[in-house]
Amino acid sequence: MFAIIGIVIVFGSVIAGFLMEHGQLAVLFQPAELVTIGGAALGTIFIGNPMHVVIGIGKGLAGAFSGSKYTKAYYLETLKMLNQLFSYARKEGMVKLEADVEEPKKSPVLSKYPKFLKDHHATDFICDTLRMSISGGIQGFDLDQMMELDIEVHHHQASLPVTSLNTVADALPGLGIVAAVLGIVVTMGSLGGPPEEIGKKVAAALVGTFLGILLCYGLFGPLAASMTKTTDAESDFYKFLRVAVVSFVKGFAPILAVEFARRCIPNNVRPTFKEMEDHCKGKSGASAPEAPAKK
């Protein structure tokens, strides 16, 4: 939502200032310049990136308009899930948890949280780590190092679309100059004609430079910055999961493990201990699921 508001402010201010100087708005509508700049920018994306990065750019741009999912409510739900999962494992034993991590969609705990399960990377991050812990022979320190490496790899991959979009944004002023030069070439071919016609062609050429600079600093540059913040928020979420799992594996009680995790949540979305406790144990009824009766 804020991205849309910002774009409206940027383009609205530019157009309003142009009209205040009695400019003709129709002059700014130059389809040929848009095709030249937009097509060249799209071409550079395909030249410099494999398909999975191109798809990542599209998803990142869509995410910039939809907003981050890592809100306080999402963190509270994840804290509740982790508390239930750890309580279940402590009550029934880590071996009992093996079936849950092998098929999380059938887990009596994880299946209650479809929103979390939709994030396949986060689900695998939790389940793969717990699977290693269940297998035995791995110390908490080694598990922590493994998760940290996993986060670094994932963050690097998630940053590739942002880097590529920044490269395109940096190239847009140059592509605007290319469009302007082409416009001047067309203008030179019209010398000797009516002055009004030559003036229109010069204006069209200058619009190319204008569009390149505006799209760089007023649209794609800020969108890349927004994608960077989304990527950082995702990385923060993985660090939060890492702290929770490692704390539990080291032997802390479930509520203490999730408290360790709560402390590393960014301040702007961090719930208080009271909010977490109420959500995990009180009003939300987050007690561990009952195990099947033993025969």
User: Which pair of structure tokens corresponds to residue 13?
Assistant: 């201010």
Token duo for residue 86: 């750890």
Q: Is 67 left (phi over 0), alpha (psi -120 to 50) or beta?
A: left
Gap between the Cα atoms of 20 and 3, Å rounded: 25
Eight-state DSSP code of residue 50: -
Residue 295 has pLDDT above 70, yes or no: no
What's the Cα-to-Cα distance from 97 to each of 37, 101, 254, 279, 292, rounded to whole Å?
Answer: 55, 7, 14, 23, 13
What does the mean pLDDT of the chain come to?
87
Point out the least confidently predicted range of 36-50, 64-78, 187-201: 187-201
Greatest pairwise CA separation for the chain in angstroms = 100
Q: For residue 293, what pLDDT is reported?
A: 38
Asked if pLDDT for residue 58 goes beyond 70, the answer is yes
What single DSSP character describes residue 219? I
User: Residue ranges of the domains in the chain?
Assistant: 30-281
Residue-level pLDDT at 282:
60
Tokens describing residue 289 = 């699921």
* pLDDT of res. 259: 93
Both tokens of 267, joined, read 């301040």
Closest to 63 measured CA to CA, from 231, 238, 240, 214 = 231
pLDDT at residue 290 tops 50 = no
What is the DSSP-derived secondary structure letter of residue 1?
Answer: -
Residue 274 has pLDDT above 60, yes or no: yes
Using CA atoms, how far apart are residues 150 and 64, in angstroms rounded to an integer?
25
Mean pLDDT of 167-191: 89
Residue 67 pLDDT: 80
